[in-house]
Amino acid sequence: MTTLLKPKVMVEFMKDLASEAGAIVASYFEGQFKVESKDSVPSGIDIVTDADKASERFIMDQIGKNFPTHDILTEETPTERTGAKYLWIIDPLDGTVNFSHSYPHFGISIALMQDDEIIAGVIFDPVRQEMFYASKGYGAFLNGTRIHVSENKGLFTCILGTGFPYDKAESRVNNLEEFCTVTPLAQGVRRSGSAALDLAWVACGRLDGFWELKLKPWDFSAGIVLVKEARGRVTDRHGGSMGLSSQSILATNSLIHDNLIEILSRVV
């Protein structure tokens, strides 16, 4: 019988992983690294660097040594699901395009799922040395201080985050119409280039909400538990429940959530 892991205990292990992976990423950021284009998008905008690979290799090795029976889902390395009770969901470097241009806004995202529920998540910003973490039932924290979502109720007083998919030049489902619909109604809309950090910033109240299309599980999994434990709300853009196969995300302070669902629904 599988021994159940305690989410609060697992977070400490995850924080150590993220911190050491962040140091690896920072060492490349301060030195030299190779940039390669992936094959998924013809334009070549979807890229990977040495830092992504080194960070992922370290995280996967440590999980494999400590939890050899667990499954892993990660961005750069194809893995097989065995049906294990626990699944690690990893983005070794979220914001690779930023990183490749020496734009100092990127992070490491690690989530742990038990059965079909995310029970713990960590997002680390190695530039600002900010460690966001949360575990189910124990709240969300930033560097040891408990965090909560904002209390803004009116969309016109809110700052929102969003992003655009890699295939924005090839596909009409590219968030441009949604962006143009929401922007006039909010105080501001920001496009940071890191969905993981956007979700962490919703959790700590820097952003009042965030939406995006065509994300992958490693982009949003840790952020989901962070926002929920910070008293926020997370659904897909239509208000449906989130899962690993979800094609969109909407995370807010909960007070503006239904309003944003209605506004986004104006775009077919």
For helices 195-203 and 217-229, angle between their N-to-C axes, nearest 10 degrees: 0
CATH topology of 7-146 equal to that of 155-264? no
Q: Could you write out the DSSP letters of every residue in 219-245?
A: HHHHHHHHHHHTT-EEE-TTSPPP-TT
pLDDT at 37: 80
Domain ranges in the chain?
7-146, 155-264
Is domain 7-146 classified as CATH 3.30.540.10? yes
Digit-coded pLDDT (tens) for 71-125 = 999 988 889 889 999 999 999 999 999 999 999 999 999 999 999 999 999 999 9
- The per-residue DSSP string of 82-115 comes to ---SEEEEEEEEE-HHHHHTT-S--EEEEEEEET
Backbone angles phi, psi at 148, to 5 degrees: -140, 155
Measure the CA–CA gap between 44 and 111, rounded to whole angstroms: 28
Residues forming a β-bridge with 47: 37
DSSP 55: H
CB 222 within 8 A of CB 89: yes
Q: What is residue 173's predicted lDDT score, i.e. its pLDDT?
A: 85
Strand 35-37 versus strand 47-49 pairing type? antiparallel
Task: Quote the pTM value.
Answer: 0.94
Region 155-264: CATH code? 3.40.190.80
- Rounded to an integer, the average pLDDT of 112-141 is 97
